[in-house]
Amino acid sequence: MFEERFSKWLKWENRDSATGIRYPGIYVCSVSSQDISGNKFSWIPEIIYIGMTNSVSGLKGRLKQFDNTIIGKTGHGGADRVRYKHQDYEELVDKLFVAVAPFECDVKSNQPDDLRIMGEVAKFEYDCFAHFVHLFGELPEFNNKKQSPKYSLTIGRGISS
């Protein structure tokens, strides 16, 4: 059920080529020393983050916020946690991959069908969390807010933990 909903794994630099990238949806990021681009999506222990968006800018906009944050700007809490551990952008993106599950709808609409689809996006994110925890016993590393500090609240402020 989950695997079929996602695109194949893409190298981070190719994220904008994903089908449906302008729609809301779920995205899954992994860090792998092996090139998994082009591989069918599967739940792997290298998954570091599961995220979602119902934004007008769609998955493309949210992934851009993620990218901006791992570069050193702000705007994405999960990416801020990633940056705490992976402070070298070039080194990180060389092994960063993403898969997306777009949900086609009009996020500016108040029509019942579009609102229901946006609700499905939020539910699917939690279903993905639950499935990951079922498989691996814990949330992806950077979804775990208690164990994964933010760069901007530690190193970014001159505080190390």
Question: For 75-125, what is the HEC assignment?
Answer: CCHHHHHHHHHCCCHHHHHCCEEEEEEECCCCCCCCCHHHHHHHHHHHHHH
31: closest CA among 96, 78, 100?
96
Q: Per the structure block, which two tokens stand in for 121?
A: 């996006």
Token pair 């699917």 in the structure block, residue:
124
- The set of residues, in sequence order, having a beta carbon less than 8 Å from that of 88 and lying 6+ positions away, is none
CA gap 47, 32 in Å, rounded? 9
120: closest CA among 50, 49, 54?
54
**Are 18 and 7 contacting, i.e. CB atoms less than 8 angstroms apart?**
yes
pLDDT at 37: 98
CA gap 83, 70 in Å, rounded? 5
Token pair 């739940």 in the structure block, residue:
43
Within 10 Å of residue 93's Cβ, how many Cβ atoms? Answer: 17
Q: Per the structure block, which two tokens stand in for 153?
A: 């609240």
pLDDT at 74: 86
pLDDT at 75: 86
What is the rounded average pLDDT of the residues 20-33? 98
Q: Per the structure block, which two tokens stand in for 114?
A: 């579009």
Q: Name the pLDDT band for 90 (thresholds 50, 70, 90).
A: very high
- The set of residues, in sequence order, having a beta carbon less than 8 Å from that of 14 and lying 6+ positions away, is 37
Question: Over the stretch 40-75, which tens digit does the pLDDT of each residue have?
Answer: 999 999 999 999 999 999 999 999 999 999 999 988
Angle at 14 between CA 118 and CA 95, to 5 degrees: 105
